[in-house]
Structure 1
């Protein structure tokens, strides 16, 4: 466990360092500051870049940034805000958006994939396979627009504003629990449907690999009904690879929901990453890269722990 933890920490550090080096080498914050109106003098631009640790040799800038990150200081954005504080706020928004969708999508995908495998080549399997293939093929922005259109139709038909699709809560009123839930329904559905479709396809393949395994036949030969043998033995083995897939997918969703956040007006980590790249904000992009590296490394450690708990063969 200690070796695993140390390896993940080193991997997160390498990923965060690479993110900073790529951002610092490819983005041009000087052009962003110089093009502002009114146009500032070049001396002021150079002084501002020095304050933000964005001027000078790349290695020196990286060492200064890395030293600050070890103390929790991610520097400042081009607008003068604390990158660390903005990272914390944006991460909490993305986490609230992604958590429910990822959990519901993964659980639903496992159930749908297992059911399709149990009923292989039957009507249920054909319908579920067609549905998951359609969801996998539909782009995220198209699915989000379809959900918004359907929600608008439902609100009009019922006369009750059940669904909201702009922002995390109503800006002109108190952020009540009911209001937050109404704003959360559609983006959660967009994330959950896409996640469920991918997990269902993956889980179905895993289930088909173990349905006719020797230990399943032995369990049924000893008197277990087919359904109980499949649920107790086959599903437990087939869900083990899904833990790795689901944990890494959750980590990727934290920074990969930029399109969903843009469409539904959630100011999360993905939206901040896109806006920061367009604004040539090196420290903000590096902060997002650091968050992504930590999330992926933590997901890898969680996947190892979960796999060890489910599969006793891996404990040695």
Structure 2
């Protein structure tokens, strides 16, 4: 199993590096950071502009392949992603913002996956009943709604709830409220600010997981080994959860890895909606400011997250299905 996971990890690592290189090449080809300097009033001297572009590794007169090579050399020798167009170190910016995004991503993805699997299993077991119909239509409605729209709707609901109570119980702007002292009051305040964006991610994630899990579970319900277990006297509930759910979970491990990438995109918009200073805001600023290094660095961050989630899904896959370990 160790060799199997290691091989998969190396494959994902190569793909992550290729994705980052492609992002750098596309950013270098399409973005024009020199326009930022040309648009200044008064305009800096040409020598100063060229020196700034050389420091950023964004001089358009230098071939893109040469700039990419220099960027990769700095990455692997000095663990540097360069500087942003504003002069900040990209690695430091990502390190500061990553915790904010990961706190939201991990909680939302894990809770959403667990809730979606449970809903999918119950929907398959109670196929076409009222509960299954309600969860089916609700899942399709949520799945068809953009993540940031779900966040805005939750904000509207929280505002109405606060108005009814006459006090601001649910706070949702920013990561925390300034001026709060003490460990427990600060922890409670951060949990309140985390509530709405987490609910939005959980709803969107659970909607997709429940549909996929329900489909997998329906295929399992008619399998021969379920009928054999029932014929041997095992109760229906035990047969389903002991044999059926485990088999139905195998494809879900792969689905989790691929859905994690779309979840990252959804959380980026949520961070902007809820005014969180995370990677979502950083990625948007990188594009609007035509910052090549920031675009490549944020792409590398997302690629590493997908790499980790894919490796974990492979471990889960090998645990559930021993046949793939060889």
**TM-score greater than 0.5 by the shorter chain:** yes
Q: Give 2:116's aligned residue.
A: 109
Residue 181 of structure 1: SS of its match in structure 2? Answer: helix
How many angstroms apart in 2 are the aligned matches of 1:22 and 1:143?
Answer: 31
Tell me, yes or no, if structure 1 residue 97 matches structure 2 residue 87: no
User: CA offset at residue 255 of structure 1?
Assistant: 4.5
How high is the TM-score relative to the length of structure 2? 0.93
How many angstroms apart in 2 are the aligned matches of 1:209 and 1:38?
Answer: 68
Contact 1:21 1:62 in 2 (8 A): yes
Q: Give 2:90's aligned residue.
A: 83
Equivalence map 1:21-60=2 (5 Å): 21-55=25-59, 56-60=62-66
How many angstroms apart in 1 are the aligned matches of 2:278 and 2:42?
Answer: 30
Tell me, yes or no, if structure 1 residue 148 matches structure 2 residue 158: no
User: CA offset at residue 9 of structure 1?
Assistant: 2.1
Equivalence map 1:59-74=2 (5 Å): 59-70=65-76, 71-74=78-81
Aligned residues between the structures:
316
How many angstroms apart in 2 are the aligned matches of 1:256 and 1:142?
Answer: 10
In the alignment, structure 1 segments of 5+ residues that lack a partner are none
Q: Give 1:226's aligned residue.
A: 236
Tell me, yes or no, if structure 1 residue 9 matches structure 2 residue 13: yes
Contact 1:252 1:296 in 2 (8 A): no
How high is the TM-score relative to the length of structure 1? 0.95
User: CA offset at residue 3 of structure 1?
Assistant: 2.6
In the alignment, structure 2 segments of 5+ residues that lack a partner are none
Q: Give 2:252's aligned residue.
A: 242
How many angstroms apart in 2 are the aligned matches of 1:76 and 1:204?
Answer: 47
Contact 1:83 1:283 in 2 (8 A): yes
RMSD across aligned positions (CA): 1.5
Q: Once structures 1 and 2 are overlaid, which stretch shifts more, 272-281 or 241-250?
A: 241-250
How many angstroms apart in 2 are the aligned matches of 1:143 and 1:40?
Answer: 45
Q: Once structures 1 and 2 are overlaid, which stretch shifts more, 246-255 or 223-232?
A: 246-255
Tell me, yes or no, if structure 1 residue 278 matches structure 2 residue 282: no
User: CA offset at residue 253 of structure 1?
Assistant: 2.7
Tell me, yes or no, if structure 1 residue 292 matches structure 2 residue 296: no
Tell me, yes or no, if structure 1 residue 18 matches structure 2 residue 25: no
1:185 to 195, 200, 217: 195
How many angstroms apart in 1 are the aligned matches of 2:141 and 2:65?
Answer: 48
Residue 176 of structure 1: SS of its match in structure 2? Answer: helix
How many angstroms apart in 2 are the aligned matches of 1:254 and 1:66?
Answer: 25
Write out the 4+ residue segments of structure 1 that deviate beyond 6 Å after TM superposition.
Answer: none
Equivalence map 1:246-257=2 (5 Å): 246-257=256-267
Residue 223 of structure 1: SS of its match in structure 2? Answer: coil
1:194 to 177, 198, 204: 204
